Amino acid sequence: MPLRPARCYTHFTSPPYTRKEYIKGVPPPKITKFEMGSLRDDYEYVVQLVVLEAGQIRHNALEAARIMTHKYLATTIGEENYYFKIRVYPHHVIRENKMMAFAGADRLQDGMRLAFGKPIGTTARVYPGHIVMEVLVKEKDIQVAKEALRRGGSKLPLPTRINIKPLRVKKEK
């Protein structure tokens, strides 16, 4: 299996840790917007980014993917010609047991004793087939949407696939 970035938090074995009313100091997600572009009703196709493996996607990776995808779409076809939505939300709180890493630190820290960890961020848990992002476009802009989602998917720690589906069935004459 090839090494991928964010491999410390990509795979999960424990139940989700989501009850923020009991957790002190959870940083807010970095994602600023979940919906971008123009929501009109005349789009013909939906282009979706689907994950192929179960795993976790950190909030900063989702934000990086959002920026990449939105920037490419906005500069290529213009903000009035698409509707882009992030379909997952980072609920799961991840923790880290911070250790000192300098000379003489071994005399100052307790090692693994009571190593529960402090909240450092949030992740979205996804399973195979979950849609992470989707773009609604007209037929002439499908290739641009595919390229935008490919660029955004490269920022995610899990392998992805791009699906294209028509929004309405075409009537035969």
171 pLDDT band, cuts 50/70/90, is low
Pick the CATH number of 35-95+118-166 from 3.30.300.30, 3.40.50.1000, 3.90.1170.10, 3.40.47.10: 3.90.1170.10
Question: Does residue 130 carry a pLDDT above 90?
Answer: yes
Smallest CA-to-CA distance from 6 within 89, 72, 64, 69 is with 64
pLDDT one-digit tens code per residue, 10-59: 777 777 777 877 788 888 888 889 999 998 879 999 999 999 999 999 99
Instruction: Show me where the domains of the chain are located.
Output: 35-95+118-166
pLDDT one-digit tens code per residue, 139-166: 999 999 999 999 999 999 999 999 999 9
Look at residue 30 and give its three-state secondary structure.
coil
Other beta carbons within 10 Å of 77: 19
Give the pLDDT score at 1. Answer: 45
Give the pLDDT score at 7. Answer: 63
* Phi, psi (rounded to 5 degrees) for 75: -80, -25
Smallest CA-to-CA distance from 1 within 56, 62, 53 is with 53
